A and B are shown apart, each in its own frame.
Chain A
Amino acid sequence: MELILSAGIGALTASGVYLLLRPRTYQVIIGLSLLSYAVNLFIFGMGRLRVNAPPVLDPAGAGDLASYTDPVPQALVLTAIVIGFAMTALFLVVLLASRGFTGTDHVDGREQRHD
């Protein structure tokens, strides 16, 4: 389980980082999104992977970490997802505005001689 998820995180990171280094804004935005999946999964994984653990408390007794999932990384990731969305939106609009102003979708706002 851990091996698969960490392989997944690794693949997402690698794809994301490769795209971050590309010259086109659209590539960068896709790269950032992939990277944010990777980071969210990574943070989530810090609470360790639990299959079939109840995430919701039984009102009868106080919860403990042995019988429930770790809520802290989940809470962190939940807000991270929403903020990630906001970041994507902002970056998308900056990308569009930059393209509108400069006429190119190169990250530098102007075409380089090669590629």
Chain B
Amino acid sequence: MIRASFAVVASSDTPAGTQVALSNIPNEGNGTIEYAGKLLPVFILAPFAGSLIVIFFPSDQRGATAWFAGAIALVCFLVTAGLYPFVASGGVLHYQLDWIPELGLNFTLRMDGFAWLFSALITAIGVLIVLYARYYMAAEDPVPRFFALFLAFMASMLGVVLSGNLILLAVFWELTSIVSFLLIGYWHHNAHARDGARIALTMTGMGGLCMMVGLLIMGRIVGSYDLDAVLASGDAIRNHPLYLTVLILLLLGALTKSAQFPFHFWLPHAMAAPTPVSAYLHSATMVKAGVFLLARLWPVMAGTEAWFWIVGLAGLTTLLLGAYFAIFQQDLKGLLAYSTISHLGLITVLLSLGSPLAAVAAVFHIVNHATFKASLFMAAGIIDHETGTRDMRRLSGLFHYMPITATLAMVASAAMAGVPLLNGFLSKEMFFAEAIETHLANALDTMTPYVATIASMFAVTYSLRFIHGVFYGSMPKDLPTKPHEPPRWMRAPVEFLVLACLVVGIIPAQTIGPFLHTAVVSILGDRTPQYSLAVWHGWNIPLIMSFVALSGGVGLYFLMRSYLATSIEGPPVFRLLQGQRIFERVLVTLSWKWARSLEQRLGTRRLQPQMCFVVLLALAAGALPLLLGGFKLPPLIIRGIDPAFALLWVIGIACAVGSAYQAKFHRLASLVLLGGAGLVTCITFVWLSAPDLAITQLLVEIVTTVLILLGLRWLPKRIEQPEDSEDLPFRIRLRRLRDFILAILAGGGMMLIAYTIMTRPLPETIASYFLERAYTEGGGTNVVNVILVDFRGFDTLGEIAVLCIVALTVFALLLRFRPQADSLETPEQQRVQNAFDDDHPDRAAGDSVAEYLFVPSVIMRWMFPITGLLAAYLFLRGHDLPGGGFAAGIAMSIGFILQYMSGGTRWVEERLRIHPLRWMSFGLLVAAATGAGSWLFGYPFLTSHAQYATLPIVGKFPLASAILFDLGVFSLVLGATVLMLIALAHQSVRAPRAHMRAARAEKEGVR
């Protein structure tokens, strides 16, 4: 593989070529490496925790906030630096925390040389950005929010590079998308910022989703989501039939993130962010995540023809178009944005080639681009900050006002243009050297060197424009503010980065060399080529290409200078093709036009067709597996039918059908018949040896009936009209017929399935487990209750929580309940009774109502203690005999509702303290506390008493902890039922009040 001309030069040339002998690095023992791996979570935890803390800083404390954020970034950087010896010798640090190991999901962090290099970039530039932002942000900006988001972004980005698990990688990847959305939209009062943030999130988020699918498939191919395992199975992935699918999905993620053509347009719009954000996101982090992924998976994905074509084409197009567009930008940051796109394209092209040397160049250029681009963004920010504009048509001659900044910016631009003795030159030379190599004999490969030279020429042009247009020329006129040098420490980060560009550019082998080598070895392993980082490689083709690009670029600039000085933003012709507009149009078409027409065509707001669809779907879902699975009708067994049971169900079926028939016009009759069907169900439970169910069913039946009775009053009157079949429209008759057929099909299907299953022998089920252990381990003989409060206690806890939520919802809904006017009248019976009182002078008004059902109401009152006793009985015997918390709770609530029925709402509430909300909260707390109590003894949540009773201190405790849990269930069921019932019952008290208020208001209005 080593055949690049420059590799030849390297071998003949220099001992200064970077070959870091492995023996130079302190050889750490395994124990120390493991210990060092424990430090990896610091990279995630420290910035995230810092982010949470910073958000609570007062917004006027700019200094303190910046110091704190800077300290955290610095700590991360120092930890990174301290970890270098461990990765330098090819070591890999690991940290693993089991998350869902059954699914192969672990919180695995992994640091090798490449991840180290990226961590160093992220944290080092992070520190510089904090320092810069301290001075950049204005006094009125909410600085804590900025630094909180900044730290969160740093953590997410570190998470991306350190993830040792594909799923974790995807999670952090999406986190960077989300946090960058918030950062770009930091000035959310600005519409451009909002748009830019939205476009960035949509593009990178969609790409991220595709990438996640790709990673999932990749994990399936490898059989593990662990990055080490993935990196070790390159052949398996490349030869898999799904390789192309995985490749395209992953590339959608990487190319959108790295703003590669045709997804590049989000990046210029993201320039609406504060400059420190741009400097961070578009130099060392966000956009580098895409090329990071490409490089990370390079060993397993690269080298195929598909990879070469897709990645290469995207990269080359981006390289050329980005550079071309950059020339025509009038906004300083816009120029830098397109230049970023172009440089990312360069890295992508390098990665597409599939040769190890190109990969080395790619990693090198990632670092170089991060340094010069971060410094350029910061310089642009300084210019913007000190002059009040970023428009290059208005800026000129600034060298006179800010000579130091100008010098710094010039050096950084020169690095961007690839001028010798600067770092950009080195990686560009490597790129040229690779571009002229033949990797695969096709048109794209032949084109590469030409495109590279032209793009490089454009790079020289726009770099020169940045320098010449802004810092030279006539004195600037009518700038918003008078320009001057920025504060000392605002410039410091730029100075540092420019110094780095120079040092790396002049003595690369001694500075970046070892670190680069560590990173490269961790990607390429045995395939690491010989390469040289020397500045001088002799007269060779890359140098000639550089020379052509430099002179051509300078010439081009001076040709276009006068045009650019006055032209409008954007390149000619291409500016008509606005990415954003296309994007918006696609979005509108997809999410509004198509969605709406789809809804119009397929959707309906009417419930009946929807219900019909649901029933049809259920029918199909039930019938299909039977038909496909070769379902055979079971033999019909007529014998052994108990006539009494048969009679019972004749009644039951009659009740059900009658209830359905009467539900429209005779609601009360329908309700009574429904109760009949319920009773038949209840008796069936008794018959078939399920006393627990029978008790609960009976009690619930009572409560449900009372509840619906309470509700009946608020429904509109419906008077039956004689239904002449002539009068009914054909459509309605057809619909009823259709519904009838559907109902028969559903009922027949259920009957068939039920009969088939019930006539087959019972297979071995988990029931045996419960039966065997209910007494020995659960300590109760009533297996059903033991399952509820012990074995499956957690389910029960969930269910009572649902009950609690429903009761609260009912309560809340009824608070806002406004009955219709026709429901407000006094019921007919009360009217008759009141009229009777009025007719008889010896009776006061309301006497008849009070005396109505006098004897039953006295009996009901007396029943209260007995009901309470029954509930207590049901509750206490629950663990061993039929009963339990559910039944007891409902029985007790019936006791309460009987009081309401006999005495009326007001009478009861004057005499009894009823606090259903307290009972419910008590119940939930007791149930949860009982569960949590087992933690105290070192057992999992809701471990029951079998362990509890053997405690040495407490001794033999007669009450099982499951009983306490059941007490919680009891209290909650009681509270929830009573709350629902009395909330509904209260409406009849509230309604007359509302009625009276309305009448009073009317009277006053008349007066």
Cβ–Cβ contact B660 & A64, under 8 A = no
Q: Which of A2, A31, A82 is in CB contact (< 8 Å) with B799?
A: A82
* Residue of A whose beta carbon sits closest to that of B804: A86
Task: With A77-B693, A87-B806, A105-B715 as known contacts, state yes or no: A49 contacts B758, CB within 8 Å.
Answer: yes
A residues 27-53 touching B (CB-CB < 8 Å): 27, 29-31, 33-34, 37-38, 40-42, 44-53
Cβ–Cβ contact A41 & B607, under 8 A = no
* Residue of A whose beta carbon sits closest to that of B803: A86
Q: Which of A69, A90, A101 is in CB contact (< 8 Å) with B810?
A: A90
Cβ–Cβ contact B771 & A62, under 8 A = yes
**Shortest Cβ gap from A108 to chain B (Å):** 5
Give per-residue flags for B945-986: 1 if the beta carbon is below 8 A from chain A beta carbons, else 0. Answer: 000000000000000000000000000010011001000100
Cβ–Cβ contact A89 & B707, under 8 A = yes
* Residue of A whose beta carbon sits closest to that of B809: A90
Answer whether residue B674 sits at the interface, using C-beta atoms and an 8 A cutoff: yes
**Shortest Cβ gap from A110 to chain B (Å):** 10
Among A5, A45, A64, residue most surrounded by chain B Cβ atoms (within 10 Å): A5
Cβ–Cβ contact B681 & A68, under 8 A = no
Cβ–Cβ contact B660 & A57, under 8 A = no
A3 / chain B contacts, CB cutoff of 8 Å: 636-638, 641, 755
Complex interface: stretch among B37-45, B119-127, B455-463, B662-670? B662-670
* A99-B740 Cα distance, complex, nearest whole Å: 27
* A13-B973 Cα distance, complex, nearest whole Å: 28
Cβ–Cβ contact B784 & A12, under 8 A = no
Cβ–Cβ contact B802 & A17, under 8 A = no
A58 / chain B contacts, CB cutoff of 8 Å: 781
Q: Which of B687, B757, B765, B792 is in CB contact (< 8 Å) with A70?
A: B765
Cβ–Cβ contact A88 & B667, under 8 A = no
**Shortest Cβ gap from A11 to chain B (Å):** 4
Cβ–Cβ contact A15 & B660, under 8 A = yes
Cβ–Cβ contact A38 & B750, under 8 A = yes
Cβ–Cβ contact B693 & A93, under 8 A = no
Task: With A17-B742, A34-B656 as known contacts, state yes or no: A42 contacts B754, CB within 8 Å.
Answer: yes
B659 / chain A contacts, CB cutoff of 8 Å: 15, 30, 34
Task: With A2-B758, A72-B770, A101-B818 as known contacts, state yes or no: A93 contacts B688, CB within 8 Å.
Answer: no
* Residue of A whose beta carbon sits closest to that of B671: A30
**Shortest Cβ gap from B259 to chain A (Å):** 48
Q: Which of B657, B685, B729, B882 is in CB contact (< 8 Å) with A11?
A: B657
Q: Which of B708, B792, B882 is in CB contact (< 8 Å) with A56?
A: B882
Cβ–Cβ contact B607 & A18, under 8 A = no
Answer whether residue B649 sits at the interface, using C-beta atoms and an 8 A cutoff: yes
A12 / chain B contacts, CB cutoff of 8 Å: 652-653, 656, 677, 747
Cβ–Cβ contact A65 & B767, under 8 A = yes
* A15-B661 Cα distance, complex, nearest whole Å: 8
Q: Which of B663, B692, B731 is in CB contact (< 8 Å) with A30?
A: B663
Cβ–Cβ contact A21 & B771, under 8 A = no
Cβ–Cβ contact B612 & A71, under 8 A = no
* A12-B649 Cα distance, complex, nearest whole Å: 11
A77 / chain B contacts, CB cutoff of 8 Å: 690, 693
* A16-B742 Cα distance, complex, nearest whole Å: 11
**Shortest Cβ gap from A100 to chain B (Å):** 5
* Residue of B whose beta carbon sits closest to that of A96: B714
Cβ–Cβ contact B608 & A21, under 8 A = yes
Task: With A11-B653, A14-B748 as known contacts, state yes or no: A57 contacts B774, CB within 8 Å.
Answer: yes
* A112-B426 Cα distance, complex, nearest whole Å: 77
* Residue of B whose beta carbon sits closest to that of A50: B689
Answer whether residue B716 sits at the interface, using C-beta atoms and an 8 A cutoff: yes
* Residue of B whose beta carbon sits closest to that of A89: B980
* A101-B819 Cα distance, complex, nearest whole Å: 8
Complex interface: stretch among B512-520, B696-704, B843-851, B932-940? B696-704
**Shortest Cβ gap from A24 to chain B (Å):** 6
Give per-residue flags for A98-115: 1 if the beta carbon is below 8 A from chain B beta carbons, else 0. Answer: 011101110110001011
Q: Which of A45, A89, A114 is in CB contact (< 8 Å) with B754?
A: A45
**Shortest Cβ gap from B960 to chain A (Å):** 14
* A74-B614 Cα distance, complex, nearest whole Å: 28
Cβ–Cβ contact A37 & B771, under 8 A = no
Give per-residue flags for B627-660: 1 if the beta carbon is below 8 A from chain A beta carbons, else 0. Answer: 0000000001110111001100100110011011
Answer whether residue B838 sits at the interface, using C-beta atoms and an 8 A cutoff: no
A56 / chain B contacts, CB cutoff of 8 Å: 781-783, 880-882
**Shortest Cβ gap from B734 to chain A (Å):** 11
Cβ–Cβ contact B696 & A81, under 8 A = yes
Main secondary structure of the interface of B (DSSP, over half): helix
Cβ–Cβ contact B687 & A63, under 8 A = no
Cβ–Cβ contact B758 & A100, under 8 A = no
* A14-B680 Cα distance, complex, nearest whole Å: 17
* A54-B781 Cα distance, complex, nearest whole Å: 11
B807 / chain A contacts, CB cutoff of 8 Å: 86, 89
Cβ–Cβ contact B775 & A59, under 8 A = yes
Q: Which of B642, B656, B750, B768 is in CB contact (< 8 Å) with A1?
A: B642
B754 / chain A contacts, CB cutoff of 8 Å: 2, 5-6, 9-10, 41-42, 45
Cβ–Cβ contact A88 & B767, under 8 A = no
B605 / chain A contacts, CB cutoff of 8 Å: 108
* A51-B796 Cα distance, complex, nearest whole Å: 28
Cβ–Cβ contact A18 & B743, under 8 A = yes
Cβ–Cβ contact B606 & A108, under 8 A = yes
A42 / chain B contacts, CB cutoff of 8 Å: 750, 753-754
B656 / chain A contacts, CB cutoff of 8 Å: 11-12, 15-16, 34, 37
Q: Which of B612, B689, B755 is in CB contact (< 8 Å) with A53?
A: B689
Task: With A17-B743, A31-B663, A86-B806 as known contacts, state yes or no: A78 contacts B758, CB within 8 Å.
Answer: no
Task: With A53-B689, A75-B787, A92-B708 as known contacts, state yes or no: A13 contacts B750, CB within 8 Å.
Answer: yes
Q: Which of A21, A37, A100, A105 is in CB contact (< 8 Å) with B742?
A: A21
Cβ–Cβ contact B751 & A107, under 8 A = no
A49 / chain B contacts, CB cutoff of 8 Å: 688, 758
Q: Which of B636, B640, B649, B689 is in CB contact (< 8 Å) with A52?
A: B689
**Shortest Cβ gap from B328 to chain A (Å):** 57
A27 / chain B contacts, CB cutoff of 8 Å: 663-664
B residues 840-861 touching A (CB-CB < 8 Å): none
* A107-B671 Cα distance, complex, nearest whole Å: 19
Q: Which of A84, A99, A108 is in CB contact (< 8 Å) with B820?
A: A99
**Shortest Cβ gap from A95 to chain B (Å):** 7
Among B608, B715, B890, residue most surrounded by chain A Cβ atoms (within 10 Å): B608
B980 / chain A contacts, CB cutoff of 8 Å: 86, 89, 93
* A19-B708 Cα distance, complex, nearest whole Å: 16
A30 / chain B contacts, CB cutoff of 8 Å: 659-660, 663, 670-671, 674
Give per-residue flags for B734-750: 1 if the beta carbon is below 8 A from chain A beta carbons, else 0. Answer: 00000110111011101
Cβ–Cβ contact A21 & B739, under 8 A = yes
B685 / chain A contacts, CB cutoff of 8 Å: 44
B residues 756-805 touching A (CB-CB < 8 Å): 757-759, 762, 765-768, 770-776, 781-784, 787-788, 792, 795-796, 799, 802-803
B731 / chain A contacts, CB cutoff of 8 Å: 114
* Residue of B whose beta carbon sits closest to that of A29: B708
**Shortest Cβ gap from A15 to chain B (Å):** 4
B646 / chain A contacts, CB cutoff of 8 Å: 4
A52 / chain B contacts, CB cutoff of 8 Å: 689
Q: Which of A10, A85, A97 is in CB contact (< 8 Å) with B750?
A: A10
Cβ–Cβ contact A68 & B743, under 8 A = no
Cβ–Cβ contact B820 & A34, under 8 A = no
Among B680, B758, B759, residue most surrounded by chain A Cβ atoms (within 10 Å): B758
* A77-B810 Cα distance, complex, nearest whole Å: 23
* A53-B788 Cα distance, complex, nearest whole Å: 20
* Residue of B whose beta carbon sits closest to that of A77: B693
Chain A positions near chain B (C-beta within 8 angstroms):
1-27, 29-31, 33-34, 37-38, 40-42, 44-59, 62-65, 68-72, 74-75, 77-79, 81-90, 92-97, 99-101, 103-105, 107-108, 112, 114-115
Please name 7 further chain A to chain B contacts, defined as beta carbons within 8 Å, in addition to the given A79-B886, A96-B814, sorted by A numbering. Answer: A3-B641, A18-B743, A55-B690, A71-B767, A90-B809, A92-B984, A94-B813
5 nearest CB pairs, A to B:
A14-B747, A10-B751, A63-B771, A18-B743, A6-B755
